[in-house]
A and B are shown apart, each in its own frame.
Chain A
């Protein structure tokens, strides 16, 4: 029985030993005098942000070091390049203690992402592979993703030269101008003055193209801006001045229109009204 108890105690002690160990206290180390620089522990050529145990031996005995546990860090993981945003925005970590602003701007600029970075095309990089081929996927996800580094005309410089049929967007592969109405005549032959003749009251019958176009536009409106920076093409149908007069506003428009109107001094409203 005693053997069993001893064995149980040994197992329990072993299992609890991490909790009994002294946990490394980084905050305490930060209170040391100024002469003790960060580089004392965080060596210049170190492979990882957590110093090796051998560094601790510069100041502590081996016996003490053996009792210390080092917790995982909440920053600087393998995917830190894509995870760092909330930490960079809040004050929980002092990025500037180690990094200067060029560290941010070497990636967060509209130039080549690796212009001053690693020549090895870092493993974690939003610009994967031949990105001019695969970028539509990223562009359709988080609508704020591209805009965090790129200016709107970064897209339009290239997209202005693309034929609509080259785009992945369904509604653009079969253009509105090619659609034939009930009369069998393609829309390209009509002007905006003719819209209400066939669509009195701005009613569209069928409307699979317009529905598809609307879904795609709502999915990520920022991608529309890539090719149509001023949105002039939108006003062909979404204007009260001429054309079809389709209302493009969101459901809660009446609640927010005054704020936008005041902010732009009515400039945006006057484009359509």
Chain B
């Protein structure tokens, strides 16, 4: 058997109470999952050797991230003269410091200490974040700096009953109109570490890009890690995107976009051979018909993984009826891999009706063996009524019909009512009922939440979610009860600073109860 520190504690926790049914852990599978190089797999001594090798790399990574955030926070402190930002950098030090120290006690390799290529890329982007931050602060102060710093502390039990205590420091940072030249920078990242060294707590760079609108007449530019979305596909991308509005747009409103770079869709396995390229042509016709034609080409491991064409249409009829559709054509399998058509009737601001039809097939990479297998389509029809009862009080009902070629179809009915806080009270109540013709896979569930503003500073809430599910297909004798209850409290220290805390209890027939706690300090600037 393999050493337990190679296992994911978060998942073992779920399984530890069904040991009589647990499979024998396949060592080779685990080694594959954790991507431990073959030459380190031969003996326990080599595991230890690899563990030390990884620890050194993790130390380097954490120290660099720590320094980067400290610099950035310190610099922004200078810019904004905001002491809270300096406090934020102090928080990061508190969050990462013990994690770094504890890493040295670790004597075995774990996934979170592996230094993958994506981590190096993350460092590069963090460095970019810092550099741009410096540019913003000293040489070319931005006209507007906004963002959010959030420090999140979590606690839950690991499989051995020990408490895992990950800490996350999020930073969302916007520097707009840098040096009055119209350049914007936007970044969002988190630094993470587990104080008790029990679980994966990955640092992440969500995005970091510079943007210039009107680089040339009608031309917008984005450069860096960014989220892009077209009907042909969506991805996080390390690269460049150009949006161009054609000069005769007043007569024929047409625009096109080109983008390309590293494809960060699969963050944990991201490497320099994962690439994405594409473009989109958009136009507005007959006053209210928006049409877009897009194309995406993805490369994975140096091979062409997917080629997808997308078409989206959106038509508004007199502010009453919205008709829309989205189509994806998978060129490599010569099939329509996704089709959605819908209508939304919204004449009144009191109520609206929406109906949709969905057709979907899975899309696999050409390098995956699954790309050569036969698959069935999934189809779905949905109708939904939304009703606005009063200001901040809304209700909905929805009926979904799921269609499976080789199985019986299923019907899902959902209804709910939600009160947004306009005075002191907010909350929601919803229910779902799923009837599957095959006998199993039926579901009945409810969600309820209530929240009360005690005074101007404190807001407290309570909630519950309970489901009864027949897990087995074609078997209606295995009702599995699961539930989740929580209490939460928010303290609004100032208009820009608040603290949220939550404790949650989860339980199901598959495993015993477990608890999870979370505290989050949010600082807006």
List the interface of chain A (C-beta within 8 A of B): 23, 47-48, 50, 52, 70-74, 77-79, 83, 85-92, 100-102, 104-105, 108-111, 115-116, 119-121, 123-124, 128-130, 132-134, 136-137, 140-144, 147-148, 151-153, 156-158, 160-166, 168-170, 173, 215-222, 224-225, 230-231, 234-235, 238, 248-253, 255-257, 259-260, 262-265, 267-269, 271-272
Contact A71 B347 (CB under 8 A): yes
Residues in A with CB closer than 8 Å to B324 are 86-87, 90, 92
Q: Given the complex, which residues of A lie within 8 Å of B186, measured CB to CB? A: 100-101
State whether A268 touches B371 (Cβ < 8 A): yes
User: Is B207 a contact of A221 with CB atoms below 8 Å?
Assistant: no
Encode B407-440 as 1/0 by CB contact (under 8 A) with A: 1000000001010111000001010101000001
From the candidates A92, A105, A217, name the one contacting B373 in the complex (CB within 8 A): A217
Binary interface encoding of chain B residues 17-51 relative to chain A, with 1 for a CB under 8 A from any of its CBs, else 0: 01001110110011001000000000000000000
| B500 and A119 within 8 A (CB) | yes
Report the bound CA distance from A224 to B440 in whole Å.
19
A171 nearest CB across to chain B (Å): 10
For B267, B352, B369, which residue has the most chain A Cβ atoms within 10 angstroms? Answer: B369
CA distance A108 to B188 in the complex (A): 14
CB neighbours (8 Å) of B465 from chain A are 121, 128-130
CB-nearest residue of chain A to B266: A151
Q: Is the CB of A263 within 8 A of B332?
A: yes
CB distance from A251 to the nearest CB of B (A): 7
A225 engages B207 (CB within 8 Å): no
CB distance from A169 to the nearest CB of B (A): 7
Cβ 8 A contact of B342, one of A86, A170, A265: A86
B188 near A102 (CB under 8 angstroms)?
yes
Residues of B within 8 A of A (CB): 7-8, 11-12, 14-15, 18, 21-23, 25-26, 29-30, 33, 150, 152, 168, 170, 172, 174, 186, 188, 204, 206-207, 226-227, 229-231, 234, 236, 255, 265-269, 282, 284, 290, 292, 303-305, 307, 310, 312-314, 316, 319-320, 322, 324-326, 331-335, 337-338, 340, 342, 344, 346-352, 354, 358, 360-364, 366-376, 378, 380, 384, 386, 391-392, 394-396, 398, 402, 404-407, 416, 418, 420-422, 428, 430, 432, 434, 440-441, 443, 445, 447, 449, 451, 461, 463, 465-467, 469, 471-474, 480, 482-484, 486, 488, 490, 500, 502, 506-508, 510, 518, 520
Could you say which residues of chain A place their CB within 8 Å of the CB of B406? Answer: 215, 218-219
B312–A90 CB distance below 8 A = yes
Q: How far is the CB of B279 from chain A (nearest CB, A)?
A: 14
> Is the CB–CB distance between B303 and A168 below 8 Å?
no
Q: With A and B bound together, what is the CA distance between A43 and B333 in angstroms?
A: 49
Contact residue among B337, B346, B358, B362 (Cβ-Cβ distance under 8 Å from A222): B362
Cβ contact of A234, chosen from B23, B332, B340, B373, cutoff 8 A? B373
User: What residues of B have a CB within 8 angstroms of the CB of A79 in the complex?
Assistant: 354, 384, 386, 396, 398
A219 with B332: CB separation less than 8 A: no
Chain A residue with minimal CB distance to B478?
A: A168
What chain A residues lie within 8 Å of B350 (beta carbons)? Answer: 72
The distance in angstroms between the C-alpha atoms of A144 and B46, with both chains bound, is 40
Query: Can you list 11 contacts pairing A with B, beta carbon distance less than 8 Å?
Result: A120-B463, A130-B484, A144-B362, A161-B11, A164-B23, A166-B18, A168-B471, A218-B406, A219-B405, A230-B369, A267-B367
Known: A105-B206, A134-B467, A143-B361. A225 touches B374 (CB 8 A): no
List the A side residues contacting B33 at CB < 8 Å.
153, 156-157, 160
Residues of A within 8 A of B364 (CB): 221-222, 225
The residue in chain B whose Cβ has the minimal distance to the Cβ of A216 is B473
Whether A100 lies near B370 (C-beta < 8 A) is no
- With A and B bound together, what is the CA distance between A150 and B174 in angstroms? 27
Could you tell me the distance between the alpha carbons of A166 and B348 in the complex, rounded to whole angstroms? 49
A-B contact count (CB 8 A): 341
Nearest-neighbour CB distance to chain B for A200, whole angstroms, equals 24
Residues of B within 8 Å of A153, CB to CB, are 33, 268-269
Among candidates A73, A90, A108, A160, residue contacting B29 with C-beta atoms closer than 8 Å: A160
The CA of A105 and the CA of B172, in the complex, are separated in Å by 12
With A120-B449, A129-B447, A160-B30 as given contacts, are A104 and B227 in contact (CB-CB < 8 Å)? yes
How many Å from the CB of B431 to the closest CB on chain A? 11
Top 5 nearest A-B pairs by Cβ distance? A72-B346, A130-B482, A231-B369, A163-B23, A143-B362
Q: How far is the CA of A23 from the CA of B349 in the complex (A)?
A: 12
Contact B416 A105 (CB under 8 A): no
Q: Which residues of A contact B255 (CB under 8 A)?
A: 91
Report chain A residues within 8 Å CB of B378: 141-143, 220
B374 CB contact (under 8 Å) in A72, A134, A235, A250: A250
B391 A248 Cβ-Cβ under 8 A: no
Residues of B within 8 A of A141 (CB): 378, 380, 402
Q: Provide the bound-state CA to CA distance between A271 and B370, in Å.
A: 11
User: For B474, what are the chain A residues with a Cβ–Cβ distance below 8 Å?
Assistant: 170
Collect the chain A residues with CB atoms within 8 Å of residue B394's CB: 77-78
Which of A110, A115, A132, A251 is close to B267, meaning CB atoms less than 8 Å apart? Answer: A110
